[in-house]
């Protein structure tokens, strides 16, 4: 890897695709293939995901996470409904209104939390208030949970169980935004089944792009009845590739020999190492537990400037009022190496 990438902690999407993915693209690039998902790679993909999740499912590869999340939500809520989510959720803040576009204007009702992990009490209260609104409200019709969260924290299985139980009692289907699900599984050391359908997740956006692919996610329906007509939503959103083999081909190598997990473990370990080093830095404060591949840290402004001057690339985050210093985000990924982290720490 180049010097440039060793100093780039801006996001997990700045990394190139892993060699296994590129090899698969090259292998896929021969001979004709039926259009629109009739190809061999796409058929295989569904079977592979079903094995991996130990459950019957329907699989739809999609090029972007924004589209995967938004299409999934559109399959759950009517245009006049609402989706409950954490106030930090990607769907609420970072998708340029795509959920509203695909759902035809459903509302995102955001629930405050300290660290991106929704609290069961807050969920319960929000549902009750929403119900009292009656005909004048936008009725809650789905719950969306992000695992790992946008603050780099990971829901425990117990917490997820509580949340999905409340959803079930209120007839809310549950979507999981798993753009970084691999990082959560790596942290929890559980199975993919444990963290999804066994907890009552109906639909999952399984991330590939941040974990070694070029541009590939998968929407997985464990509740297969909800997948009816989903392909029509994909087509109508302009997300059905005529040459779909090139989407599926990116995901297959990630599933092979659990490469997705190996990648996530590497990213997580690097984030741990980074967090460990930063905690020893005078004046540094880490506002959230580091459980995935994102490290949020408040540093004295001179240190932040120094890092930038040394060529490091990362995002400055809106620093909460009353906090002394500058909040920045450092993201590791599958290709981040120990020496990269140590070099950053050394440069402080």
Binders of its own copies in range 102-121 (CB under 8 A): 102-107
Verify binding: residue 311, its own copies, rule CB under 8 A: no
Query: In angstroms, what is the minimal distance from the CB of 23 to its own copies?
Result: 10
Q: Under rule CB under 8 A, which residues in 313-332 are in contact with its own copies?
A: 313, 318
Determine which residue in the list 56, 121, 229, 257 makes contact with its own copies, applying CB under 8 A. 229
Determine which residue in the list 43, 55, 122, 237 makes contact with its own copies, applying CB under 8 A. 237
Verify binding: residue 256, its own copies, rule CB under 8 A: no
Q: Under rule CB under 8 A, which residues in 117-176 are in contact with its own copies?
A: 129, 132-133, 135-139
Q: Under rule CB under 8 A, which residues in 29-48 are in contact with its own copies?
A: 29-36
> What ranges make up the beta strands (E) of the chain?
58-62, 82-86, 107-111, 140-146, 174-178, 203-207, 217-221, 294-299, 315-316, 326-331
Cβ atoms of 285 and 234 closer than 8 Å: no
Q: How far is CA 340 from CA 122, 253, 295, 316, in A?
A: 40, 26, 15, 20
**Residue 229, Cα to own-chain centre: how many angstroms?**
24
Determine which residue in the list 24, 45, 63, 254 makes contact with its own copies, applying CB under 8 A. 63
Q: What is the DSSP letter of 189?
A: T
Cβ atoms of 61 and 222 closer than 8 Å: no
Q: Which CB atom, from 190 or from 231, has the smaller least distance to its own copies?
A: 231
Please count the residues of this chain forming the interface with its own copies, following the rule CB under 8 A: 79
Tell me which residue of 164, 122, 112, 115 sits closest to 142, measured CA to CA: 164
Query: In angstroms, what is the minimal distance from the CB of 51 to its own copies?
Result: 27
Q: Under rule CB under 8 A, which residues in 72-101 are in contact with its own copies?
A: 78-80, 82, 93-98, 100-101
Which residue has tokens 């459980």? 291
Number of residues in the chain: 348
Q: Under rule CB under 8 A, which residues in 12-31 are in contact with its own copies?
A: 13-17, 22, 25-26, 28-31
Verify binding: residue 347, its own copies, rule CB under 8 A: no
Sheet holding 315-316, edge to edge: 294-299, 326-331, 315-316
């Amino acid at each position: 890897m180049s010097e440039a990438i060793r100093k780039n902690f801006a996001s997990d999407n700045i990394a190139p695709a892993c060699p296994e993915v590129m090899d698969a693209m090259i292998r896929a690039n021969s001979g004709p293939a039926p259009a629109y998902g009739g190809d061999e790679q796409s058929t295989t993909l569904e079977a592979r995901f079903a094995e991996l999740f130990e459950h019957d499912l329907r699989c739809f590869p999609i090029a972007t996470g924004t589209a995967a999340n938004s299409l999934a939500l559109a399959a759950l809520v009517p245009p006049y409904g609402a989706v409950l989510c954490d106030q930090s959720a990607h769907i609420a803040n970072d998708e340029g209104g795509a959920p509203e576009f695909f759902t035809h204007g459903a509302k995102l009702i955001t629930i405050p939390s300290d660290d991106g992990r929704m609290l069961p009490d807050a969920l319960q209260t929000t549902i009750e208030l929403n119900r009292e609104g009656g005909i004048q409200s936008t009725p809650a019709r789905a719950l969306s949970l992000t695992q790992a969260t946008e603050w780099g924290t990971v829901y425990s299985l117990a917490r997820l169980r509580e949340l999905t139980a409340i959803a079930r009692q209120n007839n809310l289907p549950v979507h999981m935004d798993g753009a970084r699900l691999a990082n959560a599984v790596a942290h929890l050391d559980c199975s993919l089944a444990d963290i999804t359908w066994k907890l009552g997740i109906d639909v999952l956006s399984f991330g590939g792009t941040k974990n070694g692919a070029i541009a590939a996610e998968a929407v997985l329906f464990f509740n297969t009845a909800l997948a009816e007509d989903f392909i029509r939503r994909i087509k109508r959103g302009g997300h059905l590739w005529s040459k779909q083999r090139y989407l599926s081909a990116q995901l297959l190598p990630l599933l092979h020999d659990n490469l997705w997990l190996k990648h996530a473990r590497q990213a997580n370990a690097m984030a741990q190492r980074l967090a460990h080093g930063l905690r020893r830095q005078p004046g540094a404060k880490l506002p959230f537990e580091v459980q995935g591949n994102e490290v949020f840290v408040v540093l004295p402004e001179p240190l932040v400037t120094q890092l930038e001057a040394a060529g490091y690339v990362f995002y400055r985050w809106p620093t909460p009022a009353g906090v002394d210093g500058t909040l920045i985000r450092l993201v590791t990924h599958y290709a981040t190496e120990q020496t990269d982290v140590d070099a950053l720490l050394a440069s402080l």
